[in-house]
Chain A
Amino acid sequence: MTTNPTKTRPDAADRGGDVRLAGIGKTYGSFTAVHPLDLTVARGSFFALLGASGCGKTTTLRMIAGLEEPSSGTVHLGDRDVTALPPYKRPVNTVFQSYALFPHLDIYENVAFGLRRRGIRSVKKQVGEMLDLVQLGEQARRKPHQLSGGQQQRVAVARALINHPEVLLLDEPLGALDLKLRRRMQLELKRIQTEVGITFVHVTHDQEEAMTMADRVAVMNAGRVEQLGAPADLYENPRTTFVANFLGTSNLVEAEVDTRGGGDVVVKAAGGKLVLPGARCSAPAQAGGRVLVGIRPEKITLTHADDAGSVPEGRNRITGTISNTSFIGVSTQYVVDCAACPEFEVYAQNIDRDPRLVPGADVVLHWDPAHTFGLDAGQSVLAGTTGEAGTAGDGAA
């Protein structure tokens, strides 16, 4: 797309480098908002900081922007230490939560603001092109309050992007939009990011948003990064109960380690034995030790107890009774009571529905051991669920 004749797109992408946070932390009095953390965001990537409100993700973002002074640690852009630079000297721009558009300036002047501050005289062409990129050319002379939420959001993006920052920071940029618009803007933002090739750091509490848009996601909880990785890695192989519960849903069963060898861990749970790959067990598993065995609801197959014989060998299996079913459309969600775990959730695609699977029916749950993961049993099983957010101070964004 590029708009600035003096800075062509590859040039813009070449500038700067990785964002490197080294030991960066923030405390307010005795409250630690962010524990010292190290984080590297690769140049040109779309990075998401995900967590519940109050987990420190916004504080981390604001420290990159220079809006918050870190209590410890440094911020590097490429090889440059920018920790001491005030925001107006950093080659970083922010799309603020609820946008912070200047109410006394029209759309055109809002977008031109940064260029003018840097002493650029002829802004007309750039602003025009930028407004066209976000499809707001017609609205240039309107005031922010005359625009819809989605339009305001696009102005906020345009206002930041026009400066060709090395990093674009997005603080819950879609939080104020309704669901449908949010989905559309997610794709739109992703398209813009691919087009301009600028590093995006995105803060959100919406796990689906983070997984759809980002190349890499850092899940934060109580001022710490719980786990960092590609969305699929985080989902398939969570390393803490918080991640397992905050990203999607997980069934967690407490179990005792029986044997470990040949790459697999065998555990005993509720009279039966379950197998999981040793590589997917983040807990130190010695024989006799305790672990939490996890499995995602959609990996499980339900078979009526009458057909138990047809379940192939080599699969993890648990027996139970269906206590509840709800029909969602594309799938049916079952809640199954079993000895190992009182409320086992199972999602089944509605391909061929077995009419015998109704509340009260005895069933066998079985799944491929490769989908099983193991977690340290020392943590709360409920961390990351809505009941227990796992965050001390909920409320602050």
Chain B
Amino acid sequence: MATLTEAPPPPAPAAPEKAPPRRRGRRTPYWLLLPGILWLVVFFAAPMVYQASTSVQTGSLEEGYEVTWHFATYWDALSAYWPQFLRSVAYAASATVLCLLLGYPLAYLIAFRAGRWRNLIMILVIAPFFTSFLIRTLAWKTILADGGPVVDALGTLHVLDVTGRLGWTSGDRVLATPLAVVCGLTYNFLPFMILPLYTSLERIDGRLHEAAGDLYAKPSTVFRKVTFPLSMPGVVSGTLLTFIPATGDYVNASLLGSADTGMIGNVIQSQFLRVLDYPTAAALSFLLMAAILAMVTLYIRRSGTEELV
């Protein structure tokens, strides 16, 4: 750093991770960066390029593939699988909204109302992470089982009538319906919403609430005018952290859904691992990436204009 006073001439750089960061040597940062960045270039960036090229190849497994700039694969993939695309976005968006609605009170509770229980609740929020998420997702099969207490209660309360009319459930089942998939997605990504929300709420100076109250704001107005606007950074990163992985997820749709609830992840997975139609799979994956990048950029732009603190 420029502010450093003394800088002995660096001897030959040692093993990169051990290189003392105090040296002013011009090459030190590059030695530190090299292995990790190389790893990301080779195993993250290069595959993206390979995938793009695969998507415009034609051929078959037996005869091999060849780049033929066959862009029609994209069109074919899109026309065949647009319902899954739409479904992915719809399910992920619903799950994100649900996560926000469910997560906000809990994050608020931990940040402002938990007192000495704060650490314990925090642990309870993170602890489920330590059990394999597949096992926990399977548990929802039990919870939402046909004729189980949850489904019975929903039926008795006529909730299932309403959700059935909306097309979220069918008959007296919850399992294998869109509702079950969204419920699973919400559950799986809820902590990713709660943690950034908590971080940005916790950072709010408590005196701002007092100042707002002192300036004639009712508690609900304090929330609307001060707390919520100041928690926007958490809301933005929480929604991104929920929406992005939820869109590409295929585990919940596989375990809790049915053939009618397939998401784009399910298609990519089966095209790659079962059908072995690599060009179509690569095209779909590339489309998903492009779609998400576009949506995320747009979203950040929109929320960025509000000038977050």
> Within 8 Å by CB, do A and B touch in the complex?
yes
Interface segment, A92-100, A254-262, A388-396? A92-100
How far, in Å, is B305 (CB) from chain A's closest CB?
13
- The CA of A114 and the CA of B230, in the complex, are separated in Å by 18
A98 CB contacts on chain B under 8 angstroms: 207
- Asked whether any CB of chain A lies closer than 8 Å to the CB of B146, the reply is no
- Asked whether any CB of chain B lies closer than 8 Å to the CB of A67, the reply is yes
How far, in Å, is A388 (CB) from chain B's closest CB?
31
B216 near A163 with CB under 8 A, answer yes
A102 CB contacts on chain B under 8 angstroms: 208, 211-212, 226, 230
Of listed B213, B214, B216, B226, residue having the most chain A CB within 10 A:
B214
How far, in Å, is B206 (CB) from chain A's closest CB?
9
B230 near A87 with CB under 8 A, answer no
- Asked whether any CB of chain B lies closer than 8 Å to the CB of A104, the reply is yes
A92 CB contacts on chain B under 8 angstroms: 214
Interface residues of B in 190-228 (CB under 8 A from A): 205, 207-208, 210-218, 221, 225-226
Q: Contact partner of B230 among A86, A88, A104, CB < 8 A?
A: A104
A87 near B214 with CB under 8 A, answer yes
B214 CB contacts on chain A under 8 angstroms: 65-67, 87-88, 92-94, 96, 160
- Asked whether any CB of chain A lies closer than 8 Å to the CB of B309, the reply is yes
A103 near B309 with CB under 8 A, answer yes
A97 CB contacts on chain B under 8 angstroms: 207
Interface residues of A in 93-140 (CB under 8 A from B): 93-94, 96-98, 100-104, 113-114, 117-118
Interface residues on A, range: 20 to 34
- The CA of A163 and the CA of B215, in the complex, are separated in Å by 8
B210 near A114 with CB under 8 A, answer no
A66 CB contacts on chain B under 8 angstroms: 213-214
A118 CB contacts on chain B under 8 angstroms: 216
- Asked whether any CB of chain A lies closer than 8 Å to the CB of B83, the reply is no
A100 near B211 with CB under 8 A, answer yes
A87 near B207 with CB under 8 A, answer no
A89 CB contacts on chain B under 8 angstroms: 216
- The CA of A163 and the CA of B214, in the complex, are separated in Å by 10
Against B, the Cβ 8 Å flags (1 = close, 0 = not) of A50-93 are: 00000000000000011100000000000000000011110011
B147 CB contacts on chain A under 8 angstroms: none
- The CA of A84 and the CA of B221, in the complex, are separated in Å by 20
- Asked whether any CB of chain B lies closer than 8 Å to the CB of A205, the reply is no
- The CA of A94 and the CA of B221, in the complex, are separated in Å by 18
How far, in Å, is A116 (CB) from chain B's closest CB?
9
- The CA of A103 and the CA of B230, in the complex, are separated in Å by 8
B309 near A87 with CB under 8 A, answer no
- Asked whether any CB of chain B lies closer than 8 Å to the CB of A154, the reply is no
A96 near B207 with CB under 8 A, answer yes
- The CA of A114 and the CA of B208, in the complex, are separated in Å by 13
How far, in Å, is A15 (CB) from chain B's closest CB?
16
Which residue of A is nearest B229, CB measured? A104
Q: Contact partner of A117 among B208, B215, B308, CB < 8 A?
A: B215
Against A, the Cβ 8 Å flags (1 = close, 0 = not) of B261-286 are: 00000000000000000000000000
How far, in Å, is B278 (CB) from chain A's closest CB?
49
- The CA of A93 and the CA of B207, in the complex, are separated in Å by 13
Which residue of A is nearest B213, CB measured? A87
B210 near A100 with CB under 8 A, answer yes
- Asked whether any CB of chain B lies closer than 8 Å to the CB of A317, the reply is no
Using A96-B207, A117-B221 as known contacts, say yes or no to A88 and B216 having CB atoms under 8 A apart. Answer: yes
B217 near A86 with CB under 8 A, answer no
- The CA of A163 and the CA of B217, in the complex, are separated in Å by 13
Which residue of A is nearest B228, CB measured? A104
B309 CB contacts on chain A under 8 angstroms: 103-104
- Asked whether any CB of chain B lies closer than 8 Å to the CB of A280, the reply is no
Interface residues of A in 145-192 (CB under 8 A from B): 159-160, 163
Of listed A98, A113, A160, residue having the most chain B CB within 10 A:
A113
Interface residues of B in 53-87 (CB under 8 A from A): none
Which residue of B is nearest A145, CB measured? B309
How far, in Å, is B74 (CB) from chain A's closest CB?
43
Using A103-B230, A103-B309, A104-B230 as known contacts, say yes or no to A117 and B217 having CB atoms under 8 A apart. Answer: yes
A86 near B211 with CB under 8 A, answer no
Against A, the Cβ 8 Å flags (1 = close, 0 = not) of B294-309 are: 0000000000000111
Q: List 20 A-B contacts (CB under 8 A).
A: A65-B214, A67-B210, A87-B214, A88-B213, A88-B215, A89-B216, A94-B211, A96-B211, A97-B207, A100-B205, A100-B208, A100-B210, A101-B211, A102-B208, A103-B208, A114-B215, A117-B216, A117-B218, A160-B214, A163-B216
